[in-house]
Amino acid sequence: RDACAEPHQLSKGETIHTLKTESETLKAKLEEERAKLHDVELHQVAEKIEALGQFVMKTRRTLKGHGNKVLCMDWCRDKRRIVSSSQDGKVIVWDAYTTNKEHAVTMPCTWVMACAYAPSGCAVACGGLDNKCSVYPLSLDKNENLAAKKKSVAMHTNYLSSCSFTNSDMQILTSSGDGTCALWDVESGQLLQSFHGHSADVLSLNLAPSETGNTFVSGGCDKKANVWDMRSGQNVQSFETHESDINCVKYYPSGDAFATGSDDATCRLYDLRADREVAIYSKESIIFGASSVDFSLSGRLLFAGYNDYTINVWDVLKGTRVAILFGHENRVSTVRVSPDGTAFCSGSWDSTLRIWA
């Protein structure tokens, strides 16, 4: 049957009822197929490897300068610069080694929920309640007004929740409260592909590591994590085991799995080739939502920031918590490991960013 056929025409014998029945049958078949391959749990297979020792991670730098909640941050590929964005509309570029501010831009909107560094290190992208994603080339001239060179790239019909450059400065992927993700050409602002399938706000997206091809994962308020083919726009896999909004999605470094952080107070690991959830990172004592997650370089550690102001560090394979980090004085909104894995940065509603190592 052709899904693009005139919607008001019925194929022979086809009714809403038959389609719904077929839906139910397919869903049951999916579950059955997945269950057949569920021969063991990841943490059971991981019993044979050594437990991790004690971790000592401390705040090594505190970046102060935002006047309000930090909502997002991203590392530059040079492993030392960071861009961060906040509720009061400010976007700041920092040198994380020295804590110096190198650039600052004031956006015309508040709640700048998304920011990203361009691969070249020569530009940053950001957006939020303005429903757009804009690119600012970074000038070497400190006196130059960055806002003058601003380029509007993406236009959504609701807030911008996340943005990411692809492998070059030329394309940006966005996710939005309007329920869609989209791929844009930076130079022309043209929409190259849109991704429909979520039934509520999309809160986060992450591109697969470049070796694994052209896919990305998104997560949202419909409790689903969807994997997409960037060229065709097709939703190729979908996972729905969380009990509340998915705030963050992040690929495992090999590209074979991804982790999520959710308002249901758990983080989970989904394996793409097994096509199922393979681990849950949770404790009875953790009752606040996880806002942001990221892996260490080898994928063995998962850093997760929570709404209870803490960062929990999980052993990805064994499923146990190996450290809990205190320091922020309000919700942790964003957590990202540096490109060379030597440190990770956290941003918080307490208006600071911290570098941990």
State which residue, 206 or 333, has the beta carbon closest to another protein.
333
Contact indicator for 65, 101 with CB cutoff of 8 Å: yes
Neighbours of 304 (CB within 10 A): 26
State which residue, 8 or 142, has the beta carbon closest to another protein.
8
The SS3 assignment for 29 reads helix
Residue 265 binds another protein, judged by CB under 8 A: no
Residue 268 binds another protein, judged by CB under 8 A: no
The phi, psi pair for 184, rounded to 5°, reads: -125, 150
The SS3 assignment for 102 reads strand
| Distance from the Cα of residue 154 to its chain's centroid | 18
Among 68, 151, 155, 158, binds another protein (CB under 8 A): 158
Among 72, 96, 116, 259, binds another protein (CB under 8 A): 96
Residue 193 binds another protein, judged by CB under 8 A: no
Among 12, 37, 119, 206, binds another protein (CB under 8 A): 37
User: Considering the complex, what minimum distance in angstroms separates the CB of residue 170 from another protein?
Assistant: 29
Residue 49 binds another protein, judged by CB under 8 A: yes
Binding-residue pattern over the window 163 to 182 for another protein, x denoting contact by CB under 8 A: --------------xxx---
Judged by CB under 8 A, the number of residues near another protein is 82
User: Considering the complex, what minimum distance in angstroms separates the CB of residue 297 from another protein?
Assistant: 4
Give the chain's end-to-end CA distance (angstroms, integer). Answer: 56
Residue 329 binds another protein, judged by CB under 8 A: no
Binding-residue pattern over the window 280 to 319 for another protein, x denoting contact by CB under 8 A: ----------------xxxxxx--------------xx--
For the chain, the C-alpha Rg in angstroms (whole number) is 21
User: Considering the complex, what minimum distance in angstroms separates the CB of residue 168 from another protein?
Assistant: 25
Q: Which has the closest alpha carbon to 63: 32, 102, 115? A: 102
113-141 burial string, b = 16+ CB within 10 Å, else e? bbbbbbeeeebbbbbbbbbbbbbbebeee
Residue 74 binds another protein, judged by CB under 8 A: no
Distance (Å, rounded) from C-alpha 204 to C-alpha 252? 15
**CA dist 312 → 57, 306, 309, 341, 355 (Å):** 11, 8, 10, 17, 15
State which residue, 129 or 172, has the beta carbon closest to another protein.
129
User: Considering the complex, what minimum distance in angstroms separates the CB of residue 86 from another protein?
Assistant: 13
Residue 104 binds another protein, judged by CB under 8 A: no
